[in-house]
Amino acid sequence: MTSTTTTAGDDHAVARRLADSAGEVLLGLRAARTDLEGAELKDAGDRASQEHLAAALADVRPDDAVLSEEAKDVGDRASATRVWIIDPLDGTREFSERPREDWAVHVALWQDGDLVAGAVARPAMGATLATDAPPALPERPGGPGAPVRLAVSRSRPPAFVTALAERLGAELVPMGSAGVKAMSILDGAADAYVHAGGQYEWDSAAPVVVARAAGLHTSRIDGSPLTYNREDPLLPDLLICRPELADFLLDAIADTHATA
């Protein structure tokens, strides 16, 4: 079992260490508990990763508040200057479907009004992207005129994104968790991730701060800023994309809404 003790360090490194160590917990659970399937494995993964991250944050950042998908708030977020926004297991469905790899752990830090550090671990892929070492944006296959590739949910593709793809003549690239879809742009597997239809701050905080550090565009689908640590954590839509496609996609999204 991975220790919950985390050595103090800068926030970027802490985010990476926490995401990686939670990923190790999840990989160990998935390998050891072959008796669990479906909802039981989902619940066990959520619980194990949440307990690990909660203990690690209490150890290394005891004065910070925490907003998690899987637990009640820690600390008074309304007056806090530092809040960790975490999703212990993003893509629980994919986690429960061995040997799928498209699930993730999200760890982000909000400080004084904006996201400042974070990490998205994809444990089954053996890959973590974080703000301590932002990846370089790869060249776009096919060049500027190539069809746009939109990362989209493999199980519940939003009708809005399907309509947007038809308008653009875009290619849909199905995959699992929100973090995996967002990071696929930095892998070079997609050009944009557009979501409309319901998400919470923990779904996007870590992918957004990592994407920003790597130079990607991030916003709501109307182009307004994504803001975090609000009283209501619902943050239902977002656009993460290569920067050269931002205006093109925002115009297409507006046109799609106008004709819906």
- In angstroms, the CA 18 to CA 177 distance is 19
State how far the alpha carbon of 164 is from the alpha carbons of 15, 190, 257, in Å.
34, 15, 9
Domain boundary among 71, 97, 130: 130
Considering the domain architecture, whether residues 81 and 110 belong to the same structural domain is answered as yes
Q: By the 8 A CB rule, do 158 and 174 touch?
A: no
Average pLDDT, the chain: 93
The pair of structure tokens assigned to 212 is: 């920003």
H runs (alpha helix) in 150-235: 159-168, 178-187, 201-213
Considering the domain architecture, whether residues 63 and 98 belong to the same structural domain is answered as yes
The pair of structure tokens assigned to 242 is: 């290569």
What stretch of H or E contains 104? strand 104-111
Considering the domain architecture, whether residues 106 and 183 belong to the same structural domain is answered as no
Q: What is the pLDDT of residues 159-187, one digit of tens each?
A: 889 999 999 999 999 999 999 999 999 99
Q: How many domains is the chain partitioned into structurally?
A: 2
pLDDT given at position 9 = 56
- In angstroms, the CA 138 to CA 146 distance is 15
**Average pLDDT score over residue span 102-123:** 97
From the CB of residue 178, how many other CB atoms can be counted at a distance below 10 Å? Answer: 26
pLDDT bin (cut points 50, 70, 90) of residue 259 is confident
Q: What is the pLDDT of residues 43-68, one digit of tens each?
A: 999 999 999 999 999 999 999 999 99
Considering the domain architecture, whether residues 126 and 209 belong to the same structural domain is answered as no
From the CB of residue 171, how many other CB atoms can be counted at a distance below 10 Å? Answer: 14
Residue 3 predicted with pLDDT over 60: no
Considering the domain architecture, whether residues 103 and 165 belong to the same structural domain is answered as no
Considering the domain architecture, whether residues 126 and 153 belong to the same structural domain is answered as no
Residue 5 predicted with pLDDT over 60: no
pLDDT bin (cut points 50, 70, 90) of residue 79 is very high
- In angstroms, the CA 223 to CA 213 distance is 18
| 69 marked ligand binding residue | yes
Which amino acid, residue 123?
A: P
CATH of the domain at 225: 3.40.190.80
State how far the alpha carbon of 47 is from the alpha carbons of 26, 134, 179, in Å.
10, 29, 19
**Average pLDDT score over residue span 119-143:** 94
| 255 marked ligand binding residue | no
Considering the domain architecture, whether residues 157 and 241 belong to the same structural domain is answered as yes
- In angstroms, the CA 139 to CA 178 distance is 22
pLDDT bin (cut points 50, 70, 90) of residue 8 is very low
| 89 marked ligand binding residue | yes
60-65 contact pairs (CB < 8 A, 24+): 60/6, 60/7, 60/8, 60/14, 61/14, 64/109
Radius of gyration, CA atoms only, the chain:
18
User: Which residues constitute the domain of residue 60?
Assistant: 11-130
| 247 marked ligand binding residue | no
Of 96, 115, 123, 131, the residue nearest 202 (C-alpha)? 115
Domain boundary among 130, 163, 191: 130
Considering the domain architecture, whether residues 121 and 44 belong to the same structural domain is answered as yes
- In angstroms, the CA 250 to CA 228 distance is 21
- In angstroms, the CA 244 to CA 214 distance is 14
pLDDT given at position 260 = 64
Considering the domain architecture, whether residues 209 and 243 belong to the same structural domain is answered as yes
Considering the domain architecture, whether residues 97 and 159 belong to the same structural domain is answered as no
Considering the domain architecture, whether residues 15 and 117 belong to the same structural domain is answered as yes
| 35 marked ligand binding residue | no
pLDDT given at position 197 = 80
Q: CB burial class (10 A; 0-12, 13-18, 19+) of residue 20?
A: middle
pLDDT bin (cut points 50, 70, 90) of residue 156 is confident
Domain boundary among 71, 100, 130: 130
Q: What is the pLDDT of residues 184-218, one digit of tens each?
A: 999 999 999 999 888 999 999 999 999 999 999 99
